[in-house]
């Protein structure tokens, strides 16, 4: 049996924080938001019959997904990456087949840049043929690291997620089915993608302009702070489930985002022990959809 506790200890010594995750659900076994995962915390937790996940604390992840591919194609990609490494991605027939996240990245202007950086960092293939690329965060006041789901959906396609909030996580080797492709220490990203994703200069300029000229501030939409509510739910930090779900769903419908990640709320308990049911989820999501359609 894999000793995940020992693995978590070794990674902690290198500066990485890890948590145990339920084997079948990919959900954290314990609350971890805002908690420093120290050696004592690692010792307290039960790691048996779990998977291990790394938190995006000091690192950030490019997560390439294959959700809609056939099981056969997922396994073909997985074996290709294990046998041939990252260069296998150059061999995929992108013109003939949609490889979801891989095709999206290939069509983007960042494909070569990501490949070059990945070869100097840590990369692993998932049990469904996806890919996790881990980079070290930079200490820069001009960068605000945050989660971005389907970051290229409105431009190049679906299947590429960015996980960079401190409470984001990715399941890693030696969890069952996860295999390292490149086993190097995560390095800092060199290139334009990181700036494109996390540069906060424009946001700071908008905030200054709105403070100086409030009459030109952007009007509120049907989902104020919808992106924040979306992130809270996905990260497991929401304390107002119904309210956040409604706001996040409105935001998702307005921006053509999937509400599937929000389903993580189903079967969760609040501080009073009330379970959030699938029926409640569907009812709230439908209400949000009707609201968005009514406001069009």
Between CA 160 and CA 193 the distance in angstroms is 13
Q: Are residues 42 and 85 in the same domain?
A: no
Q: Are residues 178 and 69 in the same domain?
A: yes
pLDDT tens profile 182-195: 999 999 999 999 99
Q: What is the pTM of this model?
A: 0.71
Question: By three-state DSSP, how is residue 22 classified?
Answer: strand
Q: Are the CB atoms for 111 and 156 separated by under 8 Å?
A: no
Between CA 214 and CA 170 the distance in angstroms is 40
DSSP 172: -
Residue 123 lies in a domain: yes
Q: Are residues 51 and 63 in the same domain?
A: no
Residues 6+ apart with CB under 8 A from 67: 100, 128, 159
The pLDDT score that the predictor gives to residue 217 is: 44
Q: Are residues 41 and 78 in the same domain?
A: no
Judged by phi (left if over 0) then psi (alpha if -120 to 50, else beta), residue 205 lies in alpha
To the nearest 10 degrees (0 to 180), the angle between helices 241-254 and 226-235 is 120
Residue 135 lies in a domain: yes
| CA R_g for the chain | 20
The pLDDT score that the predictor gives to residue 204 is: 61
**Structural domains in the chain (count):** 3
Range of the domain at 30: 7-55
Q: Are residues 90 and 173 in the same domain?
A: yes
Between CA 209 and CA 206 the distance in angstroms is 5
Residue 161 lies in a domain: yes
Q: Are residues 146 and 182 in the same domain?
A: yes
pLDDT tens profile 115-162: 999 999 999 999 999 999 999 999 998 899 999 999 998 889 999 999
The tens-digit pLDDT sequence of the chain (296 residues) is 579 999 999 999 999 999 999 987 788 999 998 899 999 999 999 999 999 999 999 999 999 999 999 999 999 999 999 999 999 999 999 999 999 999 999 999 999 999 999 999 999 999 999 999 999 999 998 899 999 999 998 889 999 999 999 999 999 999 999 999 999 999 999 999 999 899 887 566 556 655 655 544 444 444 557 888 888 888 788 888 888 898 989 888 888 788 888 888 888 877 777 888 888 889 899 988 888 876 66
Between CA 148 and CA 229 the distance in angstroms is 13
């Amino acid at each position: 049996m894999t000793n995940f506790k020992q693995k978590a200890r070794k990674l902690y010594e290198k500066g990485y924080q890890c948590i145990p995750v339920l084997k079948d659900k990919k959900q954290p076994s314990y609350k971890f938001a805002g908690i420093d995962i120290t050696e004592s915390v690692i010792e307290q937790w039960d790691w048996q019959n779990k998977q291990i996940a790394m938190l995006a604390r000091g690192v950030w992840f490019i997560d390439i997904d294959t959700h809609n591919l056939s099981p056969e194609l997922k396994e073909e990609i997985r074996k290709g990456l294990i046998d041939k490494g990252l260069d296998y991605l150059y061999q995929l027939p992108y013109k003939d087949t949609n490889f979801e996240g891989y095709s999206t990245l290939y069509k983007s202007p960042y494909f070569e840049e990501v490949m070059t950086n990945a070869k100097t960092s840590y990369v692993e293939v998932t049990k469904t043929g996806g890919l996790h690329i881990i980079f070290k965060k930079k200490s820069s006041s001009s960068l605000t690291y945050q989660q971005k789901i389907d970051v290229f959906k409105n431009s190049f396609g679906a299947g590429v997620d960015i996980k960079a909030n401190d409470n984001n996580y990715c399941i890693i080797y030696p969890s069952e089915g996860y295999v390292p492709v490149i086993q190097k220490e995560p390095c800092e990203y060199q290139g334009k993608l990181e700036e494109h994703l996390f540069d906060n200069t424009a946001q700071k300029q908008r905030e200054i302009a709105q403070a100086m000229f409030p009459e030109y501030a952007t009007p509120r939409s049907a989902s104020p702070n919808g992106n924040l509510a979306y992130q809270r739910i996905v990260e497991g930090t929401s304390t107002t489930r119904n309210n956040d779900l409604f706001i996040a769903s409105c935001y998702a419908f307005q921006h053509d985002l999937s509400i599937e990640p929000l389903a993580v709320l189903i079967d969760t308990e609040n501080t009073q022990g009330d379970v959030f049911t699938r029926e409640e989820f569907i009812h709230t999501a439908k209400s949000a959809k009707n609201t968005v359609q009514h406001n069009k």
